[in-house]
Structure 1
Amino acid sequence: MNKWPAVKTESVSWERTEEDLFLIPKSRRRKITATYEAAIPATLQNQQLILSPELAERLADARARLARFDEKQATLPYNLPSLFLRSESAASSQIENLTSSARNIALAELSPSAPKNAQIIAGNIDAMRCALGLTGPLSIPRIQDIHRQLLKHADEPFAGTLRSEQVWVGGTPYSPHGALFVPPHADRVIDCLNDLCAFTQRDDLDPIAKAAITHAQFETVHPFIDGNGRTGRTLLHYLLREDEVLRRATIPLSAGLLHDIDNYMEALRLYQQGMPEPIIEQLIDAIDLAIVVSQRTSERARALLEDWESAMHERVTAKIRRLPALLVEQPVVDSAFVAQRLGITRRAAMDLINRACEYGILRPIGNAKRGEFYQAPAMLDMLDEISSMAGIRRMLGIAR
């Protein structure tokens, strides 16, 4: 039997002036008392994790399949991880009820005129890139860097700043009384995060199990005012990369979690009650689904690029031959982006874009004027499909 510690609680004073209370509806005011109960997360760095033989076997199998998929990425002529980075960011945002089209998200990376939701999700892509670019031990400053990238498009003053106030999940906006979960008091956040960072350095644990527990503990600590869920899911990718479970690939883990949000949230709740197995199982399930989605998407991306290549009547050394691989990374472009990435002039880039439009690879967004943006519809359609649960179900043939 696994003896994992449950979250404890402490009574914390809740002070509000008479003027503050007067603004709160009377029905709510009666439930606000002088104290509330806040979580005290257990320390992890020395906890023993005992897994059943069945769960240990599932973890070993997941590691082996991830390693095989990872090896295949080195042989691809295009950057498939960039494609999955986009779908992962979109799916992670959907868990927080943030949605936007793949086109608008890609546009947000090039233009501040993109819709606000798209800009916020583009911040999730930046956070993923930041996390996957880090090497070395996890630290509080690195967590703050990821959070800062996540919210840089949201213009939030608390981006990258650990909270100095109480937050809570569920209940009412007036006080933590009656909330579904109340994370630790702000004074405990730094110690909790230092313990969490120390836990990630342990080498006596299965790396997937360690990543799952790190994620659940991060959500329990809730160190930021907002953006904790997306930051915590980004940390999953950092840990799998840092422990060399995935050296090259990125897989859409959040798509797997999105498949059954209720079970995912329930697993987090059970973790806080001293049961780590459900969140580990949730991550394994997410990996199982993400690998299948990734393999099928890789096949479709390869077929799409082959179609584009066969449509182009250009010499082998022509610059336009490099465009399809670029569109895997950035499916919305303008002449400045193409010029910078391919090392050509803006005029040459515009000529290349016009030829790609003739081949049916690109299509203008709005009126086709110089300096405007162009989309790769087929690539965006594929991204939209692997970034939503409905699309993934269609791809995999899963009944509703």
Structure 2
Amino acid sequence: MRAGRFVQQPTGYVAFEPAPLPPEPPVRLDGELLRLLSSADLALGRLDGITGILPNPDLFVAMYVRQEAVLSSQIEGTQASLTDVLQFEAGDREGSKLRDVQEVVNYVGAMNYGLEQTSLPMSLRLIREIHAHLMQGVRGEHLEPGEFRRTQNWIGPAGCTLSTASFVPPPPHLLLQLMGTLERFLYDETLPPLIHAGLAHAQFETIHPFLDGNGRVGRLLITFLLCQRGVLSRPLLYISHFLKQNRAEYYDRLQAVRTNGAWEEWLTFFIRGVRDVASQAHETARRILDLRTRYQALLQNEGKAGATLLRALDVVFAQPVLTPATLEEKLGVTYVTANNHVARLMELGILQEMTGYKRNRRFSFAPYLALFESTAPTASASASPSPARSEP
């Protein structure tokens, strides 16, 4: 078959053994797929271009990375929200979601680590290192973080077995060979970047090289490849938003590649998602710019305190959930002054108290957070079922 074949293993179960990339016969770049590729390239160019007019793009990139981390982790079943993560960063280490939050924080760390390495080609060593960052101290940490699996895994409903699984990835004795072939494909820059990234993601998910965390690493791979190919200068794309909204179709399209060699249908779905989230992220960036401009104009009318309040605005863009102690540290002012600045920012509608306490209060940059919360999937989408992984 075009994408590979199902092979009965010596112990009786059937596993999928993928064919090397690129597919044979080659992907047909015509019709709807070609039109989508053109519109997605345009949307990505507009998104990348807007970073050139943002006053300090790194302040905003951090929020996009957090948002992608939250959404990608939610696909795997975590319940942590963007606000939960920001509260954790502000010092809140309590609550029932702490374990989920740590998984998201690990994802942020893994993405930042990988992006620091994008001057080098994507390699199996880097993929393993990213996985180790992702799994440190969270669920699955006992399942060989940073190491390719040495036992068989499978995908299906909770309680299923190898014989009843929805999908069984290739057997462990083929992993090094298959991942080595995938690594060589990652170096191949002859295909359009979005086609390249879409093929690589699907192949990685099919090989399923780790005992846990495959989905998150596979989605990180998309971002790394687009940044490495120069399509994005910064990781402003949260593709997991689209994949979470269309989770059932996401899994169905991947499975159709394996069973029917439906590469064109998968790539059409994937590139439509890239186009849609790139357009949405561009609109979010434009609203961020408008918000910043509006608040800067407001704070410039604050007399002597205006200059320090403008510096405080940069702090709240970087840390949208914070305490007065945060401003004290970042601005180099006294705690009393920092508290006064928080009070003024609340009066201006920039900050909002979120605990209801008289002490140990935390404040959120609510208008800014609302721009990202508006991209959250609908309740019906987030409730769609995802295959449970049953792994030895």
Structure-1-length-normalised TM-score: 0.82
Deviation of the 1:131 alpha carbon: 2.7
Selected match of 2:129 from 132, 137, 145: 145
1:164 paired with 2:150, answer yes
* Matching residue of 1:277: 264
Distance 1:325 1:282, change over 3 A: farther
Unmatched 5+ stretches in structure 2? 383-392
Distance 1:146 1:343, change over 3 A: farther
Q: How many residues in Structure 1 have an aligned counterpart in Structure 2?
A: 368
* Superimposed CA distance per residue, residues 252-308 of structure 1 (whole angstroms, 9 cap, x where no aligned partner): 211122232222111101222322112211221112211231132223323333443
1:106-117 alignment runs, 5 A limit:
106-111=86-91, 112-113=93-94, 115=97, 116-117=99-100
* Superimposed CA distance per residue, residues 15-43 of structure 1 (whole angstroms, 9 cap, x where no aligned partner): xxxxxxxxxxxxxxxxxxx5211221212
Q: Which amino acid aligns with 2:20?
A: T
Distance 1:319 1:237, change over 3 A: same
Larger RCO, structures 1/2 (Cα 8 Å, 6+ apart): 2
What root-mean-square deviation, in Å, do the aligned CA atoms of Structure 1 and Structure 2 show? Answer: 2.8
Deviation of the 1:186 alpha carbon: 2.0
* Distance in 2 between residues matched to 1:360 and 1:153, nearest whole Å: 38
Tell whether the 8 Å contact from 2:241 to 2:377 is kept in structure 1 after alignment: yes
Tell whether the 8 Å contact from 1:331 to 1:380 is kept in structure 2 after alignment: yes
Selected match of 2:323 from 334, 340, 344: 334
* Distance in 1 between residues matched to 2:240 and 2:257, nearest whole Å: 19
* Distance in 1 between residues matched to 2:365 and 2:312, nearest whole Å: 11
Distance 1:49 1:305, change over 3 A: same
Selected match of 2:276 from 271, 280, 289: 289
* Matching residue of 2:17: 40
Structure-2-length-normalised TM-score: 0.83
Deviates most, 257-266 or 223-232: 257-266
* Distance in 2 between residues matched to 1:187 and 1:198, nearest whole Å: 19
Tell whether the 8 Å contact from 1:169 to 1:182 is kept in structure 2 after alignment: yes
| Identical positions, percent | 26
* Matching residue of 2:390: none
* Distance in 2 between residues matched to 1:194 and 1:353, nearest whole Å: 54
* Distance in 2 between residues matched to 1:346 and 1:45, nearest whole Å: 60
Distance 1:141 1:68, change over 3 A: same
* Distance in 1 between residues matched to 2:200 and 2:286, nearest whole Å: 33
1:129 paired with 2:119, answer no
1:95 paired with 2:75, answer yes
* Matching residue of 1:118: 101
Deviation of the 1:310 alpha carbon: 4.1
Partner secondary structure for residue 6 of structure 2 = strand
* Matching residue of 2:4: 7
Deviation of the 1:108 alpha carbon: 2.4
Q: Which amino acid aligns with 2:14?
A: E
* Distance in 1 between residues matched to 2:121 and 2:240, nearest whole Å: 23
Partner secondary structure for residue 203 of structure 1 = coil
Partner secondary structure for residue 318 of structure 1 = helix
Tell whether the 8 Å contact from 1:7 to 1:39 is kept in structure 2 after alignment: yes
Distance 1:262 1:48, change over 3 A: same
